[in-house]
Amino acid sequence: MKKIRSQVTIAIDGPAGSGKSTVARRVAEKLGLLYLDSGAMYRAVTVLAIRGELTTDSPELLEQVKACHIQFKDNGKTILLNAEDVSHQIRTPAVNRRVADVAKIPEIRHEIVKHQQRIGGEGSIIAEGRDLTTIVFPNADFKFYLDASVTERAKRRLAEFRRQNVEITLAAVEAEISDRDEKDKTRAHSPLRTADDAIVVDTTDKTINEVVDFIIARVSEDKSTSEK
């Protein structure tokens, strides 16, 4: 395992399918960091909205968000919503279609960001999403923005759906992520944007391991982060 300083925060942002989750999970394993999948939290809250047939701006949904318990197990592989394992349910096309509308509600973001910052205060962490480098951890030690062409991102997402036996076409996946990109980048609160001090990585023609190695090299080469 590479040596980095005892307390480190690595934040990654980028659009759907840019490789953030897979990359962050592997870096977490290799460096022994806590992994925070911030999108999973917005997805869990979207499950509450769908189940309760609640509109995204309803007071009922906000109450449920304030009262719910979201916990991660197995370093982010499992997510529990009020003690129920919703790890598979949060990845369905129905949640994909709805999540950006839930995530644009400022009061819901406020609750979730508080929770994320509490988790970040517990120790060294690698966290990924849409506003980790800008809002959640603006003072992160390392910031990365991962991107890739929309077609490449749609192909990656389609492969994930195929593994889960979800029937969907490439065109439908591309339309869904383009729609989500647009909503995430243009919303009034905490839009997806590249932080001024983030390192931008175009992953279109890179393998997961190439991106993982790039991030680990940047984190390790920084002398100030090496353990004395």
10 belongs to the binding site for ligand CDP (CB under 6 A): no
For residue 79, list its beta bridge partners: 72
Edge to edge, the sheet with strand 84-85 lists 70-73, 78-81, 84-85
Helices (H) and strands (E) in the chain, counts: 8, 8
Choice between 8 and 20, CB closer to ligand CDP: 20
Least distance (Å) between residue 204 CB and ligand CDP: 16
Sign of CA dihedral 18, 187, 91, 179: negative
Angle at the Cα of 87 (from 84 to 92), degrees rounded to 5? 120
4 belongs to the binding site for ligand CDP (CB under 6 A): no
Least distance (Å) between residue 39 CB and ligand CDP: 2
For residue 73, list its beta bridge partners: 78
Q: Which of residues 42, 72, 144, 145 is near ligand CDP by CB under 6 A?
A: 42
Choice between 39 and 93, CB closer to ligand CDP: 39
Strands 70-73 and 199-202: unpaired
Give CA–CA dist 150/153, Å, rounded.
5
Q: Which of residues 16, 33, 119, 195 is near ligand CDP by CB under 6 A?
A: 16
Residue whose Cβ sits closest to ligand CDP = 39
Choice between 31 and 180, CB closer to ligand CDP: 180
Site string for ligand CDP, 45-84 (x = CB under 6 A): ----------------------------------------
Q: Which residue, chain included where needed, has tokens 């990365």?
A: 144
Least distance (Å) between residue 219 CB and ligand CDP: 21
Q: Which residue, chain included where needed, has tokens 């077609």?
A: 151
Q: Under rule CB under 6 A, which residues in 182-201 are in contact with ligand CDP?
A: 184
CA distances from 189 to 102, 135, 142 (A): 12, 10, 23
38 belongs to the binding site for ligand CDP (CB under 6 A): yes
Footprint of ligand CDP (CB under 6 A): 16, 21, 38-40, 42-43, 99-100, 103, 129-132, 180, 184
